[in-house]
Structures are given as C-alpha cells and as structure tokens.
C-alpha cells in the first residue's frame, strides 16, 4: 500500500503579488466608489427575486423532510445561508437558531426534541411567506424560539454533566 502524499504548506509571502503599490491604491479606490456600490446594489436587487423563489422551494423541501433530522439539518442549513441575501431576514434568523440547536445537541450527544424542530420548521415556513408588516411578529417569534432553545440546551448540558 502506498502512503498518501503529505500536503505541502506554502508560505503566504511565497506567492507573487498580483498588484503592487499604485495598482492596489487604484483598485481600492474603484471598489470604494459610489458607482461600484450602485452596481453591486443593482446586482443584489436583481438577484433577490430568484433567490427568494429558491428559498421558498427549500422551505417546501424542509416541510417534506418530516422527522428525517439529517435532511432537516441539511435543508435548514441551506436556508440559513441564503435567506438574508434574499431579503428573508427573519427566516434566516430562525433557521440559524435551529441549526445551532441541532449542532449543539449533536455535540452534547443528546437526542433532538422533535417538537422543537417542528416548531422551528413551522416558524421558518411562516416567516418565509410573511408580508413585510409581519416582520415585528416574526422577530418576536424568533426571540421566543431562541429562549426555548437556550432552556433546552441548558437542560441537555445539565443532563450530560450528570
């Protein structure tokens, strides 16, 4: 059996510089310009509707996961990563709370509470489809879910340390 080749570490200063001095200053000025900011904002605005549609599809997929926690985690992780960019800030926040809960419980070696997962999935679904005027309510729900998860994690840590 042949040994796997070891990775070779290359020092950062061993790479040739792509830009130096004046070119760097010019590039930074271009990146900081109002024109570049406007173009970037325009690109983000154009990307938001298809991203929102993709998030809504992921939310539908999340609901179809049922109690398959591995699929729930994978799907909610995708939602967490893209929801805010698509303008679904509360959806992303709730997905983040669920991801952290699932990660922490896994790290503690404790079983997930199916009801907590189901509550989060329902809240993600609701938040993703909420109108703009429901943002305040969504934030209240996210805060309450975060408190619930914190209490559950404290209980799990106590049980793990017993």
Assign 12 a pLDDT band (cuts: 50, 70, 90).
confident
Report the chain's mean pLDDT, rounded to a whole number.
Answer: 88
79 and 59 Cβ atoms separated by less than 8 Å: yes
d(CA 76, CA 41): 26
Whether the pLDDT of residue 133 is over 60: the answer is no
Report pLDDT for 21: 83
Angle at 52 between CA 84 and CA 112, to 5 degrees: 65
Structure confidence at residue 57 (pLDDT): 96
CB atoms within 10 A of CB 128: 24
**Residue 4: per-residue pLDDT:** 77
Q: What is the pLDDT of residue 1?
A: 60
Task: State percent of the chain over pLDDT 90.
Answer: 45
Instruction: Please report which confidence band the pLDDT of residue 78 belongs to, taking 50, 70 and 90 as the band edges.
Output: very high
Burial of 127 (0-12, 13-18, 19+ CB in 10 A): buried
Distance CA 19, CA 23 (A): 6
Determine whether 70 is exposed, middle or buried from the number of CB atoms within 10 Å of its CB (0-12, 13-18, 19+).
exposed
* Percent helix, strand and coil across the chain, each to the nearest 5: 75, 0, 25
Whether residue 46 is predicted with pLDDT greater than 60 in this model: the reply is yes
The domains of the chain, with CATH numbers, are: 45-161 (1.20.120)
For residue 32, the 8-state DSSP code is T
3-class SS of residue 8: coil
Angle at the Cα of 84 from the Cα atoms of 80 and 90, rounded to 5 degrees: 80
Report the 10 Å Cβ neighbour count for 123. Answer: 22
Query: Does residue 113 have a pLDDT over 90?
Result: yes
Instruction: Kindly report which listed range (2-11, 29-38, 50-59) carries the lowest average pLDDT score.
Output: 2-11
Q: Does the pLDDT of residue 79 top 90, yes or no?
A: yes
């Amino acid at each position: 059996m042949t040994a796997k080749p070891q990775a070779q570490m290359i020092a950062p200063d061993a790479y040739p510089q792509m830009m130096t001095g004046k070119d760097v200053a010019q590039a930074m000025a271009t990146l900081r310009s109002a024109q570049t900011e406007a173009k970037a904002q325009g690109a983000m605005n154009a990307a938001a509707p298809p991203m929102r549609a993709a998030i809504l599809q992921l939310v539908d997929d999340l609901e179809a996961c049922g109690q398959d926690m591995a699929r729930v985690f994978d799907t909610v992780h995708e939602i967490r990563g893209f929801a805010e960019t698509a303008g679904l800030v509360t959806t992303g926040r709730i997905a983040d709370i669920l991801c952290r809960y699932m990660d922490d419980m896994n790290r503690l070696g404790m079983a997930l509470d199916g009801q907590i997962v189901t509550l989060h999935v329902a809240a993600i679904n609701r938040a993703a489809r909420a109108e703009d005027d429901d943002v305040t309510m969504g934030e209240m729900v996210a805060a309450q879910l975060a408190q619930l998860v914190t209490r559950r994690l404290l209980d799990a840590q106590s049980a793990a340390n017993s």
